[in-house]
Amino acid sequence: MRGIQLSQEPEATSHTASRRAVLSGASLLAGGILVGGIGAPALGSGSRLGDAEILNFALEMEELQSALYAQALQHANLTGELAQYARVVGGHERAHAAFLRETLGSRAKPAPAFDFGNAVTNSDRFAVTARALEDLGVAALDGQAPSLTKLSLASVATIVSVEARHAAWIRDLLGELPAPSASNPAQTAAQVRAAIRRTGFVKGTA
Amino acid sequence: MSDDLSPLDRDGALTEAVAMAPTTRRALLRALAAAGLIAPAAALATPGVADAAGEPQGDIAILNYALTLEYLQASFYTEVERIKAITGEAAKLARIVGVHERAHVRALRKVLGARAVARPQFDFHGATESQDAFVRTAVAFEDLGVSAYKGQAPRITSPTYLGFALSIHAVEARHAAWIRRIAGVVPAQSAFDQPATAAHVLAVVDSTHFIVGPTQADGMPGFTG
């Protein structure tokens, strides 16, 4: 509802504001760690993740999606609205990854190497893969968002609804219900990691 | 659909979508007061807008604010389905999204229990009867819903309520993308969706004149939580 919002800021400005919010959230987190002397909990330990870990987790999802769209646009001979979808959404995912990488600074993990197989050479495989990764992205962010500090939450929330829009768009293109239920199920980090592992797309750190 | 989805000029989409209606600011203010979103005195005494700085304070007030928006959406889609003037994919959307919005209303009422605000009375001034007005109004409502939930999410204290609100937030975004595609505009216009304050959201709702009365007979008086 940008057009009838109070704020008429161009996207770059809003983006900067969001980044500022996360950065100050991250600073608060860093301060907490310093003062408390508490190390960040390990991923997969079942304990609540800290902001930096959650943002790195989100970053990995965004890198995965971003690479899928970039490679499919090169190799899958996408046409019509599916090509438009890949261009628009690919641009969003790159912007999300850049935003998270900048927010995390030196704490950002390096992007892994990906191998998407025929998901980036076959248009139909691409579409169903994009649908799966977008639905997963929404569930992953919704699962982690409540654990974020409020400032980071405000920032991640600007991303999560865009992922939900992507998911609805690709589902509609596939002839599936864009919004299959009244509540969007969240997934735990462990569930999301298992789902990503099952795809075989992640080939380790580049 | 062809490869020509374009950005939508959303300025004034709602006001263009609805027929001219008599000013019902007083009715809206009474409804907002009943919803605990403004002080009752403001509804009775002040002919001006709702308190611009008046964000809902506390989880219960936030959930009641959400409930008010869900009432608006649910009533809108329910009326579309009842009147049967909308056809095609838009009718399918109205049916399915209506189910979701009614489920959101039920869920919020259940959480709030006796503290739930009552359903205001609505008059959609023809937006449920014309294909074009329906689509434009639904785009505006759903995008507004996304920004409204996003505006409140960081203000929610309870992790349970927050998880619940985020889950609805994502569904509203899916609705928004779906109706935008039906409208022929890009489902995801920007890489970052911005939040909206309650003051802004309520000003937009006010501009529609869709809320014409405070409560229905089955309602309970509102509380600020």
> Residues A24-46: pLDDT tens digits?
433 333 332 222 222 333 333 34
**A191 in contact with chain B, both atoms CB, cutoff 8 A:** no
* Reported confidence tier of residue A162, pLDDT bands at 50, 70, 90: very high
What part of A 19-78 touches B (C-beta under 8 Å)?
A: none
Contact assignment for A5 to B3 by CB distance below 8 Å: no
Q: From residue B118, give the alpha-carbon distance in Å to each of A111, B26, B213.
A: 51, 17, 11
Residue A161 has which token pair?
């609804």
- What one-letter code names the amino acid at B203? A
Q: Please, what is the Cα angle at A84 between A111 and B183, to 5 degrees?
A: 125
pLDDT beyond 50 at A161: yes
* Min Cα separation B85/chain A (Å): 22
Q: What is the pLDDT of residues B47-105, one digit of tens each?
A: 333 444 679 999 999 999 999 999 999 999 999 999 999 999 999 999 999 999 999 99
Contact assignment for B195 to A154 by CB distance below 8 Å: yes
To which residue do tokens 């507004």 refer? B144
Contact assignment for A164 to B143 by CB distance below 8 Å: no
Contact assignment for B192 to A184 by CB distance below 8 Å: no
Torsion of CA A4, A10, A14, A17, to 10 degrees: -130
- The CA distance from A146 to B161, in Å, is 10
Contact assignment for B177 to A181 by CB distance below 8 Å: no
> For B154, which residue in chain A has the nearest alpha carbon?
A150
> For B144, which residue in chain A has the nearest alpha carbon?
A1
pLDDT beyond 60 at A193: yes
User: In B47-152, which ranges are E strands?
Assistant: 121-122
* Min Cα separation A107/chain B (Å): 22
Chain B residues inside the 8 Å CB shell of A168: 173-178, 181, 187
Chain B residues inside the 8 Å CB shell of A2: 10, 143, 189-190, 194
Secondary structure class of A204 (helix, strand, coil):
strand
pLDDT at position B26 is 52
Domains and CATH numbers, chain A: 46-205 (1.20.1260)
pLDDT beyond 70 at A127: yes
Nearest CB neighbour to A164, from listed B173, B189, B191: B173
Task: Give the ipTM of the model, two decimals please.
Answer: 0.81
Q: Which segments of chain B have a pLDDT < 50?
A: 1-4, 7-24, 39-52, 217-225
* Reported confidence tier of residue A49, pLDDT bands at 50, 70, 90: confident
Contact assignment for A157 to B97 by CB distance below 8 Å: no
Contacts of A151 (CB under 8 A, 6+ apart): A21, A22, A24, A25, A28, B154
**A13 in contact with chain B, both atoms CB, cutoff 8 A:** no
pLDDT at position B214 is 76
pTM reported for the whole predicted model: 0.80
* Min Cα separation A118/chain B (Å): 24
Domains and CATH numbers, chain B: 31-40+56-213 (1.20.1260.10)
What do you get for the CA distance between the two ends of chain A, in Å? 39
- The CA distance from A30 to B192, in Å, is 25
pLDDT at position B36 is 56
Chain A, chain B: beta-carbon pairs less than 8 Å apart = 189
Mean pLDDT of A14-21: 44
**A176 in contact with chain B, both atoms CB, cutoff 8 A:** no
Chain B residues inside the 8 Å CB shell of A151: 154
pLDDT at position B120 is 94
Q: What is the pLDDT of residues A53-90, one digit of tens each?
A: 999 999 999 999 999 999 999 999 999 999 999 999 99
Chain B residues inside the 8 Å CB shell of A178: 174-175, 177-178, 181
Task: Quote the mean pLDDT of chain A.
Answer: 82
Contact between A137 and B150 (Cβ < 8 Å): no
